[in-house]
Structure 1
Amino acid sequence: MINKKIIVVGCGSIGARHLKNLFSLRIKNLVAVDLDQKRLENLKRDIPNLKTYKGLETALRKEKGIDAGFVCTPTSLHIPVALKLAEAKINLFIEKPLSHNLKGVLKLVKLVKGKKLITMMGMNYRFHPGLKLIKQIIDERKIGKIYSIVAFGGHYLPDWHPNADYRKEYAAQKKLGGGVLLTSIHGLDYLRWLVGEPKWVFGHIDKVSNLEIDVEDVAFAFFETDKRIKVSIYTDFLQRVPQHGLDVIGEKGTIKWNFYENKVDIYDPRGKKWISKKFKFETNDMYIDELKYFLYRLKLRKHIEDLNIEDGAKTLQLALAVKTNYSIRKYFSFSNEN
């Protein structure tokens, strides 16, 4: 058993997944907070000795010595919940995206720095074996200079969580911080991770379907990095057959990744052939791996520099730039809050 006490705030799909994964990693001292009593009762059947509360304030008052808090609420509530946990000197794991705007972000950054808290964003695709391989190939310049990268994906929102009414999910509601751009922000995050920071960005979002939502269901962005790499990304809530992949164009070769086929294809122009790298992979593996990384850093009391909330704020600002369709000239500054 790992001697850590962890509270998870928000026990919908991702919160429940984290609780079950933490339990599988031998974290036995778990606390769950959610307004839905039925959710909590279902989780108690799966996780022995799980402590449950319908309010965060009550949980923080009664539960002492909490080592880390997982923020898994609807997006618009991330910052208020994170601030309460940080005030209680609790290390933070915040699900993507950091928020739906920049309000309160600077306050949270200053607070966690002042209290020397460990923070991590829930960006599980950075732990995907295919993307990790591509990152290694790019960093080691195995296909030379990178010219461009194209990411694409999409899924049909009503099929996302088949047992739920999609109209009631946070992704479908503006007031909860929904919309395809923020819901699928993983793409913008791993593109920054793979090829660097944008110098400018052009974006377009729209609502084109008959889905009963008040947010965008399609998003497109194009940007150039500080290394002059051209990047584009497309995502939507519309595709009946989900897809997720990317192409990387380099001076000495091409890389193709397909999430659903569990493989990375690398074109070798010298041999004029494709080389396939296949791997065994289950979707939950990357969620487990990100938890292991967070728990390891928590155990050593080592701060996470590459995936902390400041990094999450950079990805958020890029998404907001796409939403408002403007060019970034001084990319990412906390000097002012929006």
Structure 2
Amino acid sequence: MLISGYGNIAQRHILNLLSLTSISELVILRRTNACIEDDYGVNTLVYRDLDTALLQHSFDMALVCSPASDHFSQIETLIKSGVPCFVEKPVTTDWKLAEKLLEIHRDHPTPILLGYDLRYTSGFKAVAELINAGVIGEIWRISAEVGQYLPDWRPNKNYQLTVSSQRKLGGGALRELSHELDYLNGLFKFQLHDLKVNSRNHTFLEMDCENEVQVIANAKVAQQAYEPSIYIALDMLSRKTYRRLKVSGSDMDLIWDLVEQKVKLCSDKMESDIDVTENANQPYINLLKEFVEKVQHHDCDNSPILQGIDVMEFIKLIESKAK
């Protein structure tokens, strides 16, 4: 198995895959030749160059956990070599490259999956079922918010040197917190219009890209003809982590607190809590189970790339309206 990148998420994926399937050798692609101190119980090799690794090894699968700026070239090479790819979000740094990947994948069908883990949570499943059942009535507003303090994401690293704070590597709130754009599209299949965007790089953090984005818009959604209003807020500054979705309907509100792992239905007459608690690692396990199954059945469906294109097109639209 090939792993491109060796950050926290790559290490998590390695451990999870080892628990799911038999792996005889790990080949890790990273920018330095530093030895891997972790003992995974299998032969582990380090390369700096993907082409060299491909010349010397055959791979059953690859995990692309490198900076987003490296994704296109690495995925292109792997797909053309017939290596199934699990790709951490976002699929690429912009929609044009994502469209090119789709064309390449059509000519070289290969199993692929994107690492948008929030779709694999119990909370997402519960929310989707409630919304599609029409429990809350006609939706008139959708509000999704997330705030996380960037220096706390990787406490053992200087945040200024990480991907998240560098535009050239695909950093910034829009791409690093694009989970919200993905799960919103998964729930509502929305099309945004009449956008107003406030994108800021607050100087409290030293970075060269946006660390707060607010979007106000109207949207077409799959569930109804009436167009609800949309509010999306992403920030890398909040000292206390929060992540929540509120869907306001004509009959009641639905609130999904992703940190507390609770879904709540409420109105002036009732309040009902749905416990969607699960181990924090479980969505990642679910993701990789699906990837392993796709590899085993040689499922070359291109929907994961289309999913990534949808996110990148939202980002393109938001950036075009940013002030």
Give the TM-score of the pair, scaled to structure 1: 0.88
Distance 1:74 1:195, change over 3 A: same
Cα distance in 1, alignment partners of residues 98 and 291 from structure 2: 21
Alignment partner for residue 96 of structure 1, among 83, 89, 95?
89
1:69 — aligned with what? Answer: 62
Match of 1:319 in 2: 315
C-alpha deviation, 1:114, in angstroms: 1.2
Residues 141 and 249 of structure 2 are in contact (CA less than 8 Å); yes or no, is this contact kept in structure 1? yes
User: Do the aligned residues in 1 keep the contact of 2:244 with 2:256 (CA within 8 Å)?
Assistant: yes
Contact 2:79 2:109 in 1 (8 A): no
The count of corresponding residues between Structure 1 and Structure 2 is 315
Partner of 1:9: 4
Q: 1:170 — aligned with what?
A: 163
Q: Select 1:298's aligned residue among 295, 306, 320.
A: 295
- In structure 2, the residue matched to 1:334 is none
Alpha-carbon shift at residue 47 of structure 1 (Å):
4.2
Residue type of the partner of 1:90? V
User: 1:127·1:286 contact (CA, 8 Å) conserved in 2?
Assistant: yes
Is the 2:62–2:85 Cα contact (8 Å) retained in structure 1? yes
| 1:198 aligned residue | 191
Shift of 1:36: 3.0
Q: Helix, strand or coil: the match of 1:96?
A: coil
Q: Helix, strand or coil: the match of 2:94?
A: coil
- 1:16 alignment partner, SS class: helix
Secondary structure of 1:37 counterpart: coil
Matches within 5 A, 1:1-338: 6-29=1-24, 30-38=26-34, 40-43=35-38, 45-64=39-58, 66-200=59-193, 201-227=195-221, 228-267=227-266, 272-304=269-301, 306=303, 308-325=304-321
**Is the Cα–Cα contact under 8 Å of residues 205 and 216 in structure 1 kept in the other structure?**
yes
Partner Cα distance (1:244, 1:199) in 2: 21
- Separation (CA, whole Å) in 2 of partners of 1:302 and 1:81: 20
Conserved? CA contact 2:148–2:235, under 8 Å: yes
Asked if the contact 2:122–2:277 (Cα under 8 Å) also holds between the matched residues in 1, the reply is no
Q: Which amino acid aligns with 1:9?
A: S
* CA-to-aligned-CA distance 1:247-288 (integer Å, 9 cap, x gap): 11112221111122121111256xx12111113322211111
Tell whether the 8 Å contact from 2:102 to 2:302 is kept in structure 1 after alignment: no
Q: Residue type of the partner of 1:92?
A: C
Change (3 A) 1:67 1:224: farther
> Do the aligned residues in 2 keep the contact of 1:245 with 1:256 (CA within 8 Å)?
yes
Distance 2:219 2:270 in 1: 29
Secondary structure class of the residue paired with 1:211: coil
Contact 1:120 1:304 in 2 (8 A): no
Q: Which amino acid aligns with 2:217?
A: F
Provide Cα deviations, 1:105-150, integer angstroms capped at 9, x if missing partner. Answer: 3322111111122221110000111121101111122222222210
Matching residue of 2:224: none
SS at match of 1:36: coil
Instruction: Percent identity, please.
Output: 28
Q: Which amino acid aligns with 1:21?
A: N
C-alpha contact (below 8 Å) 1:257/1:265 kept by paired residues: yes
Q: TM-score, normalised by structure 2?
A: 0.92
**2:17 is matched by which residue type in structure 1?**
L
Of 168-177 and 275-284, the range deviating more from structure 2 = 275-284
Distance in 1, matches of 2:294 and 2:128, equals 22
